[in-house]
Amino acid sequence: MGMLGSWDGIRFMVTDETVMRADNLKRKQKARISEYEGINDTNTKIHFNGMEPAELSFSIELNALLGKRPVKTSNEIDAKMKQGRHAPFILGRKQIGRCDWMISSKSDAYEIILSRGEVLSAKLDITMKEYH
């Protein structure tokens, strides 16, 4: 139990009172390449132009019964995305990559909604990009 990681003040943790994990964490890296053909050449030439910014994607499951209010937490993450906030992404005690990360997209799925419109459970899918 305890701290699993963090990004810009958002803590991924499991304690007796709270559960907020970053599940299905994936890191994607992609090369930037150019393809071209010579005038009298049938073979395609490929040229390496560097690396695209890496991407991290993960899901967060929020449940009010496990200590995290889904809409409030989602709104906090939205605010950080709209401000263009960037910070190191820490997993355990290690920083992922050498650069900061910023949220490039987020989607919310409200899974359990009570009769008064209160969201009891939600799943957030977040994608981040390396910030240089």
Q: Give pLDDT tens digits for 88-109.
A: 999 888 999 999 999 999 999 9
Q: What is the pLDDT confidence band of residue 82, given thresholds at 50, 70 and 90?
A: very high
- pLDDT category at 3 given cuts 50, 70, 90 is low
Q: Would you say 19 and 4 are in contact if contact means Cβ atoms under 8 Å apart?
A: no
pLDDT at 2 over 70: no
Task: Look at strands 100-113 and 119-131 and give their pairing.
Answer: antiparallel
Q: How confident is the model at residue 36 (pLDDT cuts 50, 70, 90)?
A: confident
Q: Would you call 56 exposed, middle or buried from its count of C-beta atoms within 10 A (0-12, 13-18, 19+)?
A: buried
Query: Within a 10 A sphere around the Cβ of 58, how many other Cβ atoms?
Result: 19
Sign of the torsion formed by the C-alpha atoms of 71, 111, 11 and 104: negative
pTM, rounded to two decimals = 0.82
Q: Which helix (H) or strand (E) holds 27?
A: strand 22-28
pLDDT above 90 as % of the chain: 58
So what's the pLDDT on residue 19? 67
